[in-house]
Each structure stands twice: as structure tokens, then as C-alpha cells.
Amino acid sequence: MNSLKRDFPILQNREIVYLDSGATTQKPKQVIKKIEEFYEKNNANPHRGAYTLSMEATEVYENARKRIAQFINAKSDEEIIFTKNATEALNLIAYSYGMENLKVDDEIVISIMEHHSNLVPWQKVSKVTGSKLNYMYSNQDFEISDEEIENKITDQTKIVAITHVSNVLGTINPIEKMIKQAHKKGAIVIVDASQSIPHMKIDVQDLDADFLIFSGHKMLAPLGIGVLYGKHELLNQMSPFLMGGDMIEYVYEQNTTFAPLPNKFEAGTQNVEGVIGLAAAIDYIEEIGYSKIQEIEKQVISYAREELEKLEFLKLYLTPNEMNHSGVISFNIKEVHPHDVASILDSQGVCVRSRKSLCTTFDAIFGD
């Protein structure tokens, strides 16, 4: 594990224990180097110029798209749309699919453990279209039961938007079951893989996910790059989200026809260095291999669970079943403000996320 640590320059430059990868990961030198290389050798605006350098930049950019399609086993690289982050990808689906396909009394189902980026856009869609926003609640083991899935995903459901791994609890949700139930009822499913893709292999065809989104920066890639995967037939029928350069086919004074996929959804100059960095991060992850990553994580998480459980003053929010739990460990120390806990840990060089119990998940479970 120490040899992997040496790949991260920031961990050589700072005396820290970085435990906030759920917020954003540090970047290995292999990713940083690829970005430097792009600026030193290939930089130009892709899809813009007919000169060699611009065509090379286009090739680098489009090869990265192919790499990402292959990584999640998309049928075609046209199903991969680059966005700014997971939040923008979810908003794109909410506006371009949700607003156009939902009507009064249709239902959107999300879970109570969603990140706000997979909650607030659906509130907006529900208000504008007159559809209902329903929640799948977690039980006291911080899991969503089969019964809850069957009760909430019904004939009225048109969209299910679900996080694969909760950023608050680390719970791994049974998305396979949810997708099966949703498809049985004729609904489409959006999987938020932001917290799962750094830790486990994702195969969109195997899952039969209709849409799947994630942010690069949580999986060793640069900040400011996100991915939206969508089934070709769904993306094809959707209207563009943002309008501008490079997403058009012909522009007339009063009307415009749009470019085919994926350009239809990529208006304006893109974050090319982010895309290249993401492809490099994927190379890095695959070189280590998910089985090795999981082996290391299992050791670290089991050790942390075991040691933290010994501390009586600490309340842990963990699913009892280790198989349903990824790398996030949430805890609270009664009577001590979380920011104080984080500040004390910071004084020892330990970086953790702190929050004053505001998230919807805890409010719903504990009535806090």
C-alpha cells in the first residue's frame, strides 16, 4: 500500500492522513503527467480547426471518450456525454428527460439517502410537471429493504433515481433489484455511481441502467469533469440541455438543427484536460485492478470498524452487514459539535468531513 501512496505527490508534500476521498480524491502523478503532456504537445480546441494540431486534440479527446465507454461497457462511445460534474449530469437528465416526459400524477422515486444533486432537481421537475416525488426509506440497519422497493416502485413510477453507494452512510444499495422492479413497471432508472465507481467494477449493460452518472474527481481524475452515460435510444429522443457552439448542425435565423450524439449535449468548449485526466485515472485504476483495490479497502475498513466500535463515546452509523458497506464511515460524538471534532483531528493532520447532522437521511431516520 505504501508504494501506491508514493504515487500521490501531495502525500509526499504534506504531513496528512487524508480521509476525505468521498468529497474528492487526491491525484496520482500518472494523471498529473498526462495533463501536462497534453498542454505541452497537443493543446488546441477539439472539433474546431482543420489544422493538424486541432485534429490531434480531437483525436486525444475522442479516444478518451472511447476509453470511458469501454471502462463501463457502454455499447457505443456516443452514449458517453461529458459534463462538468455529477450534479450537471443529473440536472441534464432532469431537464431534458424528466421535464419532457413526466405528467401530472406520474411518480418519481428516489431514496432518502440521495446526495442533494439527485434530490433537488427532482423536486423542481415534480413542481413543474405536477408529478409526485416519492422516497424509498432506509430501515434501522441503514438499508433499503426488498419490501420498500416493491411498495414504492409502482405502476405510476416513471423515473427511479438512486445512488449506488450512499455518500452519507456508505451503504451499497441493491440497484440490480431496483432496476428489475422499475423495468417491470415500465420506469427508467438513473444510477448515481459517484461513490461506487471508484471502488467497484461497473458494467452498464449488465446492470441494464438507463442512465448512469459520476464525477471524475472522486476517482483520481481532475476536478470539473463528469460523465453521463445514457442508452442511445433515450439520449437520441431528448432535447439538448445547453445551447451554443459545437452542438449544432445548421443554424438559421429563427431555427437550429442539432448535431448527432454525443455533440448534441456538449455545448461550448469542453474540459479537455479533465477528459484526458479521467482516461489516465481509469488506466491507473485498471492497472491496480478492482480486486486489489477491494482487498486493500476490506483490510482498512474492517480494521476501522473494529477499532471504532471499541470507542464507547462514539455513535457509529453503519450497516451491520459488511457486504453492504463501502468505504464511508459516519460517526457522531454526543455533545461535541462535529466541526470541533474535525478541528481536533485536523490538528493531528487528519482530514475528515464534518456536518452538523443536516442531511435528509439522518433527519428521516432519527427525526433529528
Binding interface with ligand PLP (CB under 6 A): 85-87, 115, 117-118, 163, 167, 192, 194-195, 215
Q: What angle do CA 173, 228, 73 make, to 5 degrees?
A: 75
Assess contact for 74 and 204: CB atoms under 8 A. Answer: yes
Of the pair 195, 263, the CB lying nearest ligand PLP is at 195
94 three-state secondary structure: helix
> What's the min distance (Å) between Cβ of 174 and ligand PLP?
16
Of the pair 55, 200, the CB lying nearest ligand PLP is at 200
| Strand ranges (E), 246-299 | 248-251, 256-258
Cis peptide before 9, with omega less than 30 degrees from 0?
no
Assess contact for 219 and 25: CB atoms under 8 A. Answer: yes
**What single-letter amino acid sits at 230?**
G
> What's the min distance (Å) between Cβ of 92 and ligand PLP?
12
Assess contact for 261 and 232: CB atoms under 8 A. Answer: yes
Assess contact for 329 and 305: CB atoms under 8 A. Answer: yes
> What's the min distance (Å) between Cβ of 335 and ligand PLP?
28
> What's the min distance (Å) between Cβ of 50 and ligand PLP?
35
28 three-state secondary structure: coil
Of the pair 58, 271, the CB lying nearest ligand PLP is at 271
Of the pair 219, 285, the CB lying nearest ligand PLP is at 219
What residues have CB less than 8 Å from 325, skipping those under 6 apart?
A: 170, 171, 172, 301, 318, 319
The H-or-E segment that residue 32 falls in is: helix 29-41
The CA distance from 215 to 218, in Å, is 6
Of the pair 108, 259, the CB lying nearest ligand PLP is at 108
What residues are paired with 190 via a beta bridge? Answer: 161, 211
C-alpha closest to that of 93 among 237, 201, 216 = 237
> What's the min distance (Å) between Cβ of 249 and ligand PLP?
30
> What's the min distance (Å) between Cβ of 201 and ligand PLP?
18
> What's the min distance (Å) between Cβ of 41 and ligand PLP?
29
Of the pair 163, 330, the CB lying nearest ligand PLP is at 163
First to last CA, the chain: 39
How do beta strands 226-230 and 188-192 pair? unpaired
Of the pair 215, 263, the CB lying nearest ligand PLP is at 215
> What's the min distance (Å) between Cβ of 278 and ligand PLP?
12
Of the pair 167, 330, the CB lying nearest ligand PLP is at 167
